[in-house]
A and B are shown apart, each in its own frame.
Chain A
Amino acid sequence: MEVNEILVIAMFLSFIVLLFTGFPVAFVLGGIGVAFGFIGYLSDMYLDTFTGLDMLTLGLVVNRIYKIMDNWVMVALPMFIFMGIMLDRSGVAERLMQSIQQLFGRVRGGLAITVTLIGIILAASTGIVGASVVLLGLMSLKPMLDQNYSKPLALGTIASAGTLGILIPPSIMLVIMADQLALSVGDLFMGAVFPGILLGTLYVVFILAVGLFKPSAAPIPADAKPVEWQMIIAVLKSILPPVALIIAVLGSIFAGIATATEASGVGALGATLLAWYNKKLSFKVFKEVAHGTYNTTAYIFAVFLGATCFALVLRELGGDELIEHWLTGLPFGDYGIIICVLAIIFLLGFFLDWIEITLIALPLLAPVISALGLEIDGYGVVDNPELVWFVMLVAMALQTSFLTPPVGFSIFYLKGVCPPDVKLTDIYKGVVPFIALQLMALAILVAWPELVLWLPAMAYG
């Protein structure tokens, strides 16, 4: 084995080991990056490697940090977090959850289904997973636990529903993938619509099944009543203001009036007005909301800083080449290779977050897929249909990277807004069935590429 390969593997291993010691993730990533930068430098001197790593090269971290700062898309993140926390404090969110749930009053798992539906709506509005998970977590975790849902089901529902944001357009991940592979962002957005709906449907069916077979995990509220007209009217009344807010946010994006960033500002302002309307707004509340927003945004951002250092050094050590080398050596048939590639992405998702996978692995894997010469029908409209389809498979597989321990960003986001008695292990337990559902959706997409390619062909044909 080459020295480079040993270093890359050692880097991964020490990351995993140190991660579990409980030191902040951001500094574990950053620290290991620096340490292996130094090790690479020494190995150039004494072990005849050619990494080119030294103090100067490590300095690239600063350029990369600056690029993370210079990203107007991220500006939306604190806005949506603010909107979420403010909605929570305004008391509107809880009532919204309860109201919609009344419609599902007699359905076991009604509240969880509500969360999934709202998750789909949020996914369509923000495209930012962190914001969706945080908002859903703040809005729905307490009501679900109050209603004696099992902790894992509640947490799993929130984490996975919030994670739909990377698949359902507008999605930042799809934008970056399009950039990496020089595909049309429009094709990817359209291509993701049915897979997103498919996944949401699977979640709902699963929750219904849990209600059926394990009623204690998803209890019906004690005061559940059959649906009556009066109730519907009362419900409509109570959900009107927040729904108006969401429509304002969503609608302004879809109608092309505002960008996601601007819409996030509108949402933040709207939530504040709602709190004021409900007489829940005070300077103290505002201060607390701002404080919570600040803390949450900051620690998420810190992970980005550490990760950029780690990824830089990994790349300089030749980590990306190593992965490519392994892949091109596979002795399987077409679909065998595709399944291997997806399995690798799935495994990488255990340790790396989607952006590193998108940036490192995807450009290496795509040519392999293109070279297979698969006959995937793009209806004569979609360019590179096999790649568009492959990207959807990858996006579906990467959903899991948000949900798989140890580095699942959705898990971290959710943990950030959980009451202290919720353990990471509770969340880990909760996401397992949803990961299984994602794998099922993945298999469906492998079998029927039309699910991905039909819509972009119709939309732009």
Chain B
Amino acid sequence: EDKKILLKVPVAFATSLPGLGTPIPKVAEQIELVTNKSIRMKVYEPGKLVAPFEILGAVSAGKINAGYTTAGYWAGKIPASPLFSAVPFGPDAGEYMAWMYYGNGMKLYQEMYDTAGYNVKVMPCAINPPETSGWFAKPIEKPEDLQGLRMRFFGLGAKVMEKLGVSTSLLPGSEIFPALEKGAIDATEFSTPSVDTRVGFHKIVKYNYFPGWHQQSTIFELLINKDVWNKMSASQQAALNQVCKASMADSFAEGEAKQFSAMKENVEKRGVKIMQWNDTMLNAFQGAWDEVVAEQSAADPMFKKIWDDMSAFREDYKLWGQNAFLPRK
């Protein structure tokens, strides 16, 4: 008989946001069924127990035993962490999971937390399709159009935008719309069309850019205090692993399923213009990203180690990736 355990799981995103927050209540429901209630999960909305940016520290210290969030939120604590959330010009969901589960991704993910001295067990527990590239008040045709913009931006992409003369800040989801409305920022990115629409950016800024070069896919993680993890039975550990893996598939399916209707309504009912970055812009982003990677790799050994491994995997993957798929248009 396994020892019963209650995982208290504060989350970084409201559980009502499709794809972003919706996966974890399903995980909570499933883990209870799968383990015949030997593991129960109690999900706490953002900030109820602890604020999103405090989750890692609190889980590691054992103040709470688990948390659901995304690694990019630890950029101030572990410079390499955004590589496990989303990588500019990085892999899409299929390739990302290939590296995570069949490359060295999972090993490096855990090693990163161990090396930084965090007493946590990490597992990917949801993955999202590409995000939109942001919402702007006017068309952006050339890099100069970005100069002087003030924009909310997440993760490594923010450093790219800074290189192009954008002043970025990482506002939490709830503060973006008011900042936009008051003109404290001129533009923003947040998430997928279905999430962005709920927040209401289209009411202020109408030019919605694609593709999301900065987040072709985004991984969300379940963190569990390592002492708690080690005390679980092998069966309980396997159950958590498998339920999270199932959640990867489910969240990806949900994300893929929910975007087109949001985009269609945006265009037809809300006057949104769906825009594509031109080649000049994509090249400018790519160029700036190359600089950012070089700087980050030079500054942080762990970043370099993970980046090199991921890049090597992706280089090999190209032979498959470039031959196997039909063009999307």
Contacts and interface: CB of A to CB of B under 8 A. Distances in A.
Contact of B61 (A59, A187, A260): A59
Contacts of A57: 63-64
Interface string B176-188: 0111011110000
Interface string B60-85: 01111100000000000000000000
Interface in A307-357: 312, 315-316
B175 interface: yes
Contact of A315 (B48, B175, B183): B48
Interface string A166-205: 0000100001101111111111010000000000000000
Contacts of A189: 178, 181
Contacts, number: 104
B182 A50 contact: no
B199 interface: yes
Contacts of B142: none
Interface string A32-70: 000000000000000000101000110110011011001
B46 A56 contact: no
Interface in B190-221: 197-200, 203-204
A64 B49 CA distance: 8
A66 B63 CA distance: 15
Contact of B49 (A60, A187, A257, A383): A60
A460 B203 contact: yes
B264 to A, nearest CB: 15
A67 B47 contact: yes
A180 B62 CA distance: 26
A406 interface: no
A380 B269 contact: yes
Interface size class of A (residues with CB under 8 A): 35 or more
A59 B174 CA distance: 26
Contacts of A363: 45
A63 B54 contact: yes
Given A52-B6, A56-B63, A187-B200, A64 B182 contact: no
B14 A180 contact: yes
A147 interface: no
B177 A185 contact: yes
B200 A63 contact: no
B173 interface: yes
Given A56-B63, A182-B17, A184-B198, A170 B48 contact: no
A187 B199 CA distance: 10
Given A186-B181, A256-B182, A259-B179, A60 B46 contact: no
A253 interface: yes
Contact of A60 (B45, B50, B172, B181): B50
Contacts of B233: none
A359 interface: yes
B182 A67 contact: no
B182 A63 contact: no
A371 to B, nearest CB: 14
Contacts of B14: 179-182
B245 interface: no
Contacts of B170: none
B6 A50 contact: yes
A184 B53 CA distance: 23
Contact of A179 (B64, B65, B174, B204): B174
Nearest to B185: A259
Contacts of B62: 56
A359 B64 CA distance: 19
B51 interface: yes
A363 B65 CA distance: 23
A63 B50 contact: yes
B183 A257 contact: yes
Interface in A351-385: 359-360, 363, 380-381, 383
B163 interface: no
Interface string B249-266: 000000000000000000
Nearest to A177: B174
Given A52-B6, A56-B62, A170-B178, A181 B16 contact: yes
Contacts of A381: 269
Contacts of B197: 383
A40 to B, nearest CB: 13
B139 interface: no
B57 interface: yes
B178 A64 contact: no
Interface in A90-119: none
A310 B269 CA distance: 46
A277 B204 CA distance: 40
A50 B54 CA distance: 24
A335 to B, nearest CB: 24
Given A64-B51, A66-B54, A359-B47, A59 B178 contact: no
A175 B178 contact: yes
B49 A178 contact: no
B63 A179 contact: no
B291 to A, nearest CB: 30
Interface of B: 6, 8, 14, 16-17, 44-51, 53-54, 57-58, 61-65, 172-175, 177-179, 181-184, 197-200, 203-204, 269
20 contacts: A50-B6, A60-B63, A63-B50, A63-B54, A66-B54, A178-B177, A179-B174, A185-B174, A186-B177, A189-B178, A189-B181, A257-B183, A259-B179, A259-B182, A315-B48, A315-B49, A359-B48, A381-B269, A383-B197, A383-B200
Interface of A: 50, 52, 56-57, 59-60, 63-64, 66-67, 70, 170, 175-176, 178-187, 189, 253, 255-260, 312, 315-316, 359-360, 363, 380-381, 383, 459-460
Given A63-B51, A179-B46, A182-B17, 20 more contacts: A52-B6, A52-B65, A59-B63, A60-B50, A60-B58, A60-B63, A63-B58, A63-B63, A67-B47, A67-B50, A170-B182, A175-B178, A179-B173, A181-B14, A183-B198, A184-B177, A186-B203, A253-B182, A256-B182, A312-B49
User: Would you list the 7 A-B pairs with minimal beta carbon distance, nearest first?
Assistant: A256-B183, A179-B174, A184-B200, A67-B51, A63-B54, A182-B16, A185-B177
